[in-house]
Structure 1
Amino acid sequence: MKNTISVKQFQFFPFHLVTPSPWPILVSFSLLTLTTGAVSYIHGYYLGGYILSLGFIITTLGMSLWLRDIITEGTLLGDHTKEVVVGLVYGIVLFIVSEVFAFFSIFWAFFHSSLSPAIELGGQWPPLGIEPLNPFAIPLLNTLLLLSSGATITFAHHGLLASKRGAAILGTLLTIILALIFTGLQAFEYAQSSITIADSVYGSAFFCSTGLHGLHVIVGTIFITVGFFRIINYHLTNTHHQGYEAGIYYWHFVDVVWLFLFVAIYVWGGTGL
């Protein structure tokens, strides 16, 4: 009987060679389906909503299975060496930088129209006929919630670094609760708003900016929730918690973007100060 020798026994470098996986190609086609469905649905094409739903379900499933394998590689198989972790840090930082430019483009469009309103907008900002939301009602409360969530996730991070599991769990749980309340209030604000995305440049800029940020809040909440359950299951330690730390970086980015949104879109852009 021949002895089976693992390829890893002959690996003289610290980098992780990813094993063949079906998830990248699955996610690629599911994203294509998702995009096609979204365009079809927006333009009112037949079955557009069904294609969009199918793409969303397959993308969610594929990403979940892909991330499950990554967690297994890093936590159970020990494939995430120091050099691999450094690469992961560069990856999340570059991803956040790309997100910064996405919001930068939206702010550019907003200020392009608001700093010098065209005659079609009535020569003023907010445009004629637009009743902006009160920035010192739900938006101010949401600002306090997000700032508080930034404090609680930092508390949880320091608790994990100090090997205080109870503090890490408590801080992460509070962050999730605050994030869910924020999302609920944002949905309530949309439902009560007198404007829509089709109401002039103001409506487009408002819903594109706050909606994109809301999507990031949902993604960040999922990110942190995964970290929460990994802490409970003893996956993370004070020296091995890169995925959780990446979620914290992302959440602080979400906090900072909201501050810019609150000042620019709600306060200055809504009141014309």
Structure 2
Amino acid sequence: MSSQQAKAPYYFVPGPSRWPVLAGVSLLITMIGASAWVNSAAWGPELTAIGILSVLVVLYKWFGEAIGESESGLYGERIDLSFRWSMGWFIFSEVMFFAAFFGALFYARTITMPWLGDLDHKILWPDFTAHWGNTGPAGTVESFRTMGPFPIPTINTALLLLSGVTLTISHHALRAGHRTQTAIWLFATVLLGAIFMGFQAYEYYHSYHELNLKLTSGIYGSTFFLLTGFHGFHVTIGAIMLSVVLYRVLKGHFTPEHHFAFEGAAWYWHFVDVVWLGLYIVVYWL
């Protein structure tokens, strides 16, 4: 047990906080702005930007307050256990989030597409071929080429797998009390994540301008961009989390025994790695 946990209260209960209400209001503003934006309202983009900025400010203040409580020794073993359960359930909700998109992809490929290509539907759509990446019944979608696993998706797979290794090395260094090595390997993890996102941005540019593969390219395009896009968003969030942890390491936070913020961010990053492996096989290979 660390010295901070030894002097912590039995169970710390924070006082009334304004941050949950402000977070809810900020998210409501963001959703109203986004809804107006997609419906071509002139004020939609500005309201969306205000909402996103408000969310970021609330998160910065709220997490800063929690960090201050942790560093002042108010968080003991029971709070640490609560955080672990909370992070575990949060990651489980993320698993269900991606399961919905993988389920939509499975339904489209395994059930709907063969059904549209059977003998009964040949009368309605005689030119339709039941292969993945088709242009829809009666050619309702512009022609496009599908995305293969080489070279960028395979490079990105190697980058994420390597980032999992560097993050694990960083964690072991922190547990051993080697703060410099912790920071170096953690920085390497964040850098690998940034390179991953750079390659994905190039992949999107390539798909739009050279393959004519877009979000509007039928069920193939919608599932491709939803799965890869939301995964890229999660990589970005994970990289931000690890960057904050890196900043805290450089500020002298954490001890070998007391560093749940590091562990929680690491759990999230490894979850993102696992999702990518499934996505890499199902979306790019099959």
Which TM-score applies when normalising by structure 1? Answer: 0.91
Of 13-22 and 214-223, more deviation after overlay is shown by: 13-22
- Quote the residue 2:246 is aligned against: 228
Measure, in 2, the Cα distance between the counterparts of 1:190 and 1:46: 27
User: Which residue in 1 is equivalent to 2:219?
Assistant: 201
Tell me which of 150, 167, 190 is aligned to 2:164.
150
Once the two structures are TM-superposed, the CA of residue 20 in structure 1 deviates from its matched residue by 2.2
Match of 1:84 in 2: 79
Query: Deviation of residue 21 (structure 1)?
Result: 2.1
Written as runs of structure 1 = structure 2, the 5 A alignment for 1:93-242 is 93-116=88-111, 117=113, 118-119=116-117, 122-128=129-135, 129-193=143-207, 194-242=212-260
Q: Following the alignment from structure 2 to structure 1, what is the Cα–Cα distance between the partners of residues 57 and 248?
A: 19
CA distance in 1, matches of 2:48, 2:191: 29
Deviations 1:114-138 (A, max 9, x none): 1231347732212133311121211
- What's the offset of the Cα at 1:184? 0.8
> Counterparts of 1:107 and 1:100 in 2: how far apart (Å)?
10
Q: How much is the aligned-residue C-alpha RMSD, in angstroms? A: 1.4
Aligned residue in 1 for 2:139: none
CA distance in 1, matches of 2:280, 2:150: 10
**Code of the aligned partner of 1:125:** W
Deviations 1:18-48 (A, max 9, x none): 1222221111100011111122212222311
The alignment of Structure 1 onto Structure 2 pairs a total of residues equal to: 256
**How big is the shift at 1:13?**
6.5
Preserved CA contact (<8 Å) 1:114 1:126: no
Identity %: 34
Are positions 1:257 and 2:275 aligned together? yes
- Structure 1's unaligned 5+ residue stretches are 1-11, 269-273
Cα deviation digits, residues 87-143 of structure 1 (max 9, x gap):
000000000000000000000000111123134773221213331112121100000
Q: Deviations over 1:237-262 (max 9, x none)?
A: 10111111100000000000000000
**CA distance, structure 1, for counterparts of residue 17 and residue 281 of structure 2:** 45
> What is the CA–CA distance in structure 2 between the aligned matches of 1:188 and 1:43, rounded to whole Å?
29
Q: How far, CA to CA, are the matches of 1:40 and 1:186 in structure 2?
A: 28
